[in-house]
């Protein structure tokens, strides 16, 4: 049972990215809520495994791996908003916007981990700096919605591959319209020039996501297909009301069978490092 004092700190926390049920009646109001979709994703049985969650943010995957019986869970993330991959001319504005609108990096994770009795080992490390010499290797590596925020996603995937023993689970944003328009052609939308700087670089279509994973030296073992990751109450990154948002939601719904629920289109792949 979480103490009243900690519960208060959790409730007062400025921004939650992940919806995490800490205990019955105590749920973080995140921007993204995996609870209704996680059982449909190809996340392998973690029991007894040494696991790594890359770019953990509030720690949803790390907590999930711990609860699924992992022998050890390590989580990494960058230590502050200045470490994001910013386009140089948008860097200053981006850092200032995130410092204003979002919590200090890692604070949400610390609250969650403390509430659970600190079962997760957190290391402040960029994905680019993952090396077996630094963190060892892992039976299972998870990474959620990170690659779209990187200027060089392949360098990140190479670093992930260097510490992956058996499984790499990758869950990413996909563009459903582009997936339908170009079914077989791997294609990406460049998002560096959006009206509000979002810290995004590249969003793939389904074929693009699969091809990127293969080009980075992984074999795909299982594929969720495009699905909608529901928004939680903390979602403020784009307008979710109005005619335009409704149209987008209906189109996404038609292409992903999400039954009209508001959320972001994603896809999850379970992969293994290929024998090269």
Partner 1 sequence: MEGTATTGPWYHTIELPSGEVTPGLFDHRPVLQKYGLPPKLEGKRVLDVGTFDGFFAFEFERRGAAEVVALDVPEPGAMDWPTPLRRTGTGMARSYDNFDVAHSALGSRVTRERLPVYEASTERLGTFDLIFVGSLLVHLRDPVGALMALHEICAGELWLADAVSRTLDIVGRGRPLAQMRGASGKLEWWLPNRAALRDCMDAAGFVDIHAGPRFTVPFRAQRGGIAHAVLRGRPGGPVSP
- For binding to partner 1 (CB under 8 A), which residues are involved? 87-93, 96-97, 151-152, 154-155, 158, 161, 178, 181-182, 185-190, 192-193, 201-202, 204, 208, 211-212, 214-217, 274, 276
Alpha carbons 140 and 53: distance in angstroms, whole number: 9
- Closer CB to partner 1, residue 37 or residue 147? 147
Q: How far is the CB of 91 from partner 1 (least distance, A)?
A: 7
Q: How far is the CB of 253 from partner 1 (least distance, A)?
A: 22
- Closer CB to partner 1, residue 188 or residue 227? 188
The sign of the torsion formed by the CA atoms of 261, 19, 143, 72 equals negative
Q: How far apart are the first and last CA of the chain?
A: 49
Contact 209, 187 (CB under 8 A): no
Indicate the burial class of 26 (C-beta count within 10 angstroms; 0-12, 13-18, 19 or more).
Answer: middle
User: Which residues have CB under 8 Å from 12's CB, separation 6+?
Assistant: none
- Closer CB to partner 1, residue 61 or residue 188? 188
- Closer CB to partner 1, residue 30 or residue 197? 197
Q: Which residues pair with 63 in a beta bridge?
A: none
Q: How far is the CB of 204 from partner 1 (least distance, A)?
A: 7
Q: How far is the CB of 155 from partner 1 (least distance, A)?
A: 7
């Amino acid at each position: 049972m979480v103490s009243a004092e900690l519960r208060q700190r959790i409730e007062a926390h400025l921004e939650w990215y992940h919806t995490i049920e800490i205990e019955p009646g105590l749920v973080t109001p995140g921007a993204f809520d995996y609870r209704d979709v996680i059982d449909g994703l190809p996340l392998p049985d973690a029991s007894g495994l040494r696991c790594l969650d890359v770019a953990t943010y509030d720690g949803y995957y790390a907590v999930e791996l711990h609860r699924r019986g992992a022998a050890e869970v390590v989580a990494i993330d960058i230590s502050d908003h200045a470490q994001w991959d910013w386009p140089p001319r948008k860097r200053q504005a981006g850092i200032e916007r995130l410092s204003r609108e979002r919590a200090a990096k890692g604070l949400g994770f610390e609250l969650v981990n403390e509430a659970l009795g600190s079962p997760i080992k957190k290391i402040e490390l960029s994905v680019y700096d993952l090396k077996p010499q630094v963190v060892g290797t892992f039976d299972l590596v998870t990474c959620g919605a990170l690659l779209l925020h990187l200027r060089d996603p392949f360098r990140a995937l190479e670093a992930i591959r260097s510490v992956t023993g058996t499984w790499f689970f990758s869950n990413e944003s996909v563009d459903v319209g582009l997936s339908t328009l170009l079914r077989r052609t791997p294609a990406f939308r460049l998002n560096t020039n959006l009206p509000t700087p979002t810290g995004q670089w590249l969003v793939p279509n389904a074929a693009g996501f699969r091809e990127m994973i293969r080009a980075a030296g992984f074999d795909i073992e299982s594929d969720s297909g495009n699905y909608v990751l529901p928004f939680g109450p903390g979602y403020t990154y784009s307008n979710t009301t109005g005619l335009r948002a409704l149209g987008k939601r209906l189109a996404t719904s038609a292409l992903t069978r999400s039954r009209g629920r508001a959320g972001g289109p994603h896809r999850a792949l379970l992969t293994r490092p290929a024998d090269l």
